[in-house]
Amino acid sequence: MIEKFSKYSPLLLRTGIAIAFLWFGFSQIKNPANWVKLLPEFTQSLPLSQNAFIYLNGSFEITFAALLLLGFFTRIVSLLLGLHLLSITYALGYGAVAVRDFSLAIATFAIFLHGADEFCLENLIIKKKEN
């Protein structure tokens, strides 16, 4: 009986990961001071302020999470988000936050490997054009 619901698995994974990225992105935009302390040292030598770096990062995460949630450019978006999380994991070093981010990166790469599911808007648009 549960097998008939397995087609929703990619949708649930994609939605859950997108919600996590949206939460992180909006949290960074809302209160960048909470996130500056997590930045690696090299960001202090960048030609933009650390707050600006956080705003850019938050904007990136919101934009790409929205695309992932809607199911547009699913493979490329999930690949970029996964690589983004791996770079964050590396910068953080070993610890609870890094392990969480590494696990989210693995889940994001699973979306990349699967590609667009049947509920992605990119597939729904293609089906509509074919009819």
Other C-beta atoms lying within 10 Å of the C-beta of residue 117? 19
Domain residue extents for the chain: 8-36+46-130
How much is the pLDDT for 21? 97
Determine if the pTM surpasses 0.85: yes
62, pLDDT greater than 90: yes
26, pLDDT greater than 90: yes
In the 3-class helix/strand/coil scheme, how is the chain assigned residue by residue? Answer: CHHHHHHHHHHHHHHHHHHHHHHHHHHHHHCCHHHHCCCCHHHHHCCCCHHHHHHHHHHHHHHHHHHHHHCCCHHHHHHHHHHHHHHHHHHHCCCHHHHHHHHHHHHHHHHHHHCCCCCCHHHHHHHHHHC
Cβ atoms of 32 and 54 within 8 Å: the answer is: yes
Give the pLDDT band of residue 128 (cuts 50, 70, 90): low
How much is the pLDDT for 25? 97
How much is the pLDDT for 39? 81
65: closest CA among 26, 117, 116? 26
Give the pLDDT band of residue 83 (cuts 50, 70, 90): very high
